[in-house]
Structure formats: C-alpha cells, structure tokens
Amino acid sequence: MTDVKKIKPFESPIYVTKPFLPPIEEFAEGLQEIWDTHRLTNNGPVLQRFTRQLSHYFQTDNVCLFANGTLALQIGLQGMGISGEVITTPFTFVATTHALFWNKIRPVFVDIEPDYYTLDPEKVEAAITPWTTAILAVHVFGYPANLHTLADIARRHNLKLIYDAAHAFGVEVGGKPIAHFGDMSMFSFHATKLYHSLEGGLLNFQDSGLKDTFDYLKNFGFKSQVEVVMPGTNAKMNEMQALMGIHVLKYLDEIIEKGRQIDALYRERLAAVPGIHLPPSLPEDIRCNYAYTPIEVYEKEFGMNRDELYEKLKKYKVFTRRYFYPLICDFACYKSISIGASLEVARKVSERILTLPTYFDLSLDDVQKICDIIIEIGSKEADHQSYELAAKV
Ligand code: T4K
C-alpha cells in the first residue's frame, strides 16, 4: 500500500474513463479492406458484418445500428409511434430526455430507488395518467432496472416498456442479454463506454415489423433510390465505426474481467471508509459489466461533501465525474416541466454521487493509490474536525 503520509499526485491525469483500443496492427489490417473498396458509409460490408456479429451476440435479427445512441433512441421512439407522456428518470444523462423532447413527448419524471438508482416501480405506477404511452427506464451504470415489476406494470396498463441501456452492453440477466427484456433497448457505443465503436448506438427490439421503419428513418426515409417513404434523417453508422466495433468486441470478456477486478478492489478498500457508500453487489444471476464505479459521499461521516472531495481529488490529478448531477429536471431547458411527486431520493443521490475512474488500462496499483488518496483526504478532514471539536470543549 502507498505510504499515506506521502501520497504524491499522479504524474499524468487519471480521468473517469479512457477508451479501450485494440492493437493498432489489428485495426490497420481491417482498414486495408476499407482502403481497397473505398466504401466508407451507407450500409457498407463492414457495417453488415458488424450487424451480423451483434445479431449473433443478441441472439436476434432485430438489431439496428446508428451513428450514436442519442439518435438511436430518438428514432426508436419515433418508429414505435410513442407520443403523449412517458414516465422516465431524472437521474441519467441528458440525452435520455432529449430523445423524448425531439419527439414532442412530455417527460414525466419519477423518483429512483436508493440501491441501484433505477426507476422506483411503485412511483411509476402512481404517475400513470390517461396520456401515458410508455415507460422509459435506464439501466444506469449498467445496473438492471426492476425488470419484472416494470414489465408487469407495462402489461397491466398497456404501455410500451423501453430501456435506455446506454451503459449496459455486456450485462446479462439469467444468462440472457439484458436487451431480452422490454419492448426495445438502446445501447450507446460512445468512446466513453465500456464497449465502443468510436461513436455509435444500437436498437434491439422485440417487434420485427419495426426493422424496416428504423432502417428507413436512419437513411432519409429511402426505401429505394426513387422512393422516400417517411421524413427520415441521417443517423447511419459509418464503416470506420463498424470496424472499431468489430475489433473491440473481440476483447469484451477481457474488458469486463478487468472491470471486475477494479470493482472488487474499490469495494475491498472503500467499503469500510466512514461516509463512503458503494451500491450493494448485484445478485448472482446478473452478469455485471462493471462499466462505472459510483460512490456516494455522506458529508457528516466523511468530513466533507462530494463537491469538496471532487475538487481535492483534482489536486492529485484524479478527475472523477459527478454522473448524474444536476438532475435533468434542474437543467434550464427542462425546469419548466412540472414535477408531480417528490424526487427526494434522486435529489439526495445526485448531491452525493461521484463516479471513480474505471477502465481497462487503469492498473490495480493506480486503483490502490486512488483509494489511498480518498482515505487520506477523509482522515485528514476527520482529524481536523475532531481537533476543532476538542478546541471548542
Ligand atoms: N443515455 C445515457 C444513459 C447515456 O449515458 C448516454 C451517453 C446517452 C444516452 C447518449 O449516448 P451517445 O449519443 O453519447 O452514444 C459522456 C459521453 O459523451 C456520453 O456518451 C455519455 N452518455 C456520458 C455519460 O458521458 P461527457 O461530457 O462526460 O464526456 P467527456 O468528453 O467529458 O469524457 C469523459 C472523460 O472520458 C474525459 O474526461 C476523458 C475521457 N475521454 C473522453 C473521450 C470522448 C477519453 O479518454 N477519450 C475520448 O475520446 O459525456
């Protein structure tokens, strides 16, 4: 363990994430095909190969690739004809709500549950109105939402159940990819994700009748060279993205295994630190992807609040992120949306949450050092507080 009295800042910055890159020779080999064919985009052979690999991975032909996750979700909602009100979470990346907004759908923000920060099903049911058409839940940090209860609510109220699974590629529940649950799931393949294709997004859906619609919508609405059947947009994934996706996919198991080791070490070192709270380990039937390491900082017990810790860590060149703060309903562009019920849990979590560095290239020694720094910062502050208390007595 690092000598806590003499912890020096890291020499190079440690960011919350760093994209996995395959060996450059492997990628270069794939580039040759693109150079040979001069086919760069518009459903080229690499994209078709990538789509087949993902169909195999998800065990379904109902997959469609996009330029990014935001456009995938936007088009997914549009293609499914979702309208009116959709129940969703305020504790997510802002793109989840933007996708509703671009479809002129009113987001109805509902509170989250405190363990894994996903939508609280009891509160979902209470928020249903005659205008509700769907539930848009998020597997935030890769933690599965309450799949069975949400499915039951959706079935009883005849609602579509859609998952923003941007963080959840590689997660399995009961041996099945998480996309098996709900009517549609969107995965993001952005560079900051555990699994990526530079940028990219994927829809996995149950109704095979939607496939053509998604294909048209992402390609200007073209059905053939002379037929435009709907006002689509340009949301196509290009050949470079698909190539990166193919090459990173080969390493998915290794990436997840490294995440498991990092998670285990953070848990071992931080679980007993006063004021630092980690979400409970997931049940055994869930294959986690260990994409993120969120902690909650309890000010009184730790001796300082989340924002102070976030700032102090920067002095050691550790650049954590406050995913997700502020809540979406507090952003200027969504402030005017009226909130029906209390968002008490989401508000508290959003004030306390801090996401620690987690990525394939992060060495376990570096994780040890990040933990040492957090412990050192906390104990110094605790010493200072007890000194001040003693001085007052
Ligand atoms: N739904 C959810 C729940 C999402 O989390 C997201 C995206 C979406 C939907 C939309 O999917 P996409 O349309 O993005 O496919 C990042 C990502 O840009 C965003 O994709 C992601 N969620 C969100 C959680 O995080 P920022 O603003 O935090 O990214 P940035 O650029 O500050 O990157 C974080 C750190 O990563 C940097 O400090 C350094 C490192 N980094 C980043 C990039 C881009 C690298 O080392 N290399 C890189 O190329 O939003």
Q: How many CB atoms lie within 10 A of CB 319?
A: 14
Ligand 1 centre to CA of 167 (Å) is 11
pLDDT given for residue 108 in this prediction: 97
Which among 386, 382, 358, 373 has a CA at the least distance from the CA of 311? Answer: 373
Instruction: Give me the phi and psi of 342, to 5 degrees please.
Output: -65, 145
pLDDT given for residue 380 in this prediction: 72
Reading the chain (393 residues) residue by residue, the pLDDT tens digits are: 444 457 999 999 999 999 999 999 999 999 999 999 999 999 999 999 999 999 999 999 999 999 999 999 999 999 999 999 999 999 999 999 999 999 999 999 999 999 999 999 999 999 999 999 999 999 999 999 999 999 999 999 999 999 999 999 999 999 999 999 999 999 999 999 999 999 999 999 999 999 999 999 999 999 999 999 999 999 999 999 999 999 999 999 999 999 999 999 999 999 999 999 999 999 999 999 999 999 999 999 999 999 999 999 999 999 999 999 999 999 999 999 988 889 999 999 999 999 999 999 999 999 999 999 999 999 876 555 554 555 554
Q: Which residue has its alpha carbon closest to ligand 1 atom 48?
A: 191
Atom of ligand 1 nearest to the CA of 321: 28
Cβ of residue 243 lying under 6 Å from some atom of ligand 1:
no
pLDDT, tens digit (0-9, with 9 covering 90-100), for 293-308: 999 999 999 999 999 9
Cβ of residue 192 lying under 6 Å from some atom of ligand 1:
yes
CB of 170 closer than 8 Å to CB of 195: yes
Cβ of residue 235 lying under 6 Å from some atom of ligand 1:
no
Ligand 1 centre to CA of 192 (Å) is 5
Cβ of residue 103 lying under 6 Å from some atom of ligand 1:
no
Q: How many CA atoms lie within 13 A of 380 on its CB side?
A: 12
> CA 21 to CA 221: how far, in whole Å?
34
Q: How many CB atoms lie within 10 A of CB 173?
A: 19
**How many residues can be counted in the chain?**
393
**pTM (whole model) above 0.85:** yes
Instruction: Choose one of 12, 16, 93, 218 to mutate for the ligand 1 pocket test, by most ligand atoms within 8 angstroms of C-beta.
Output: 93
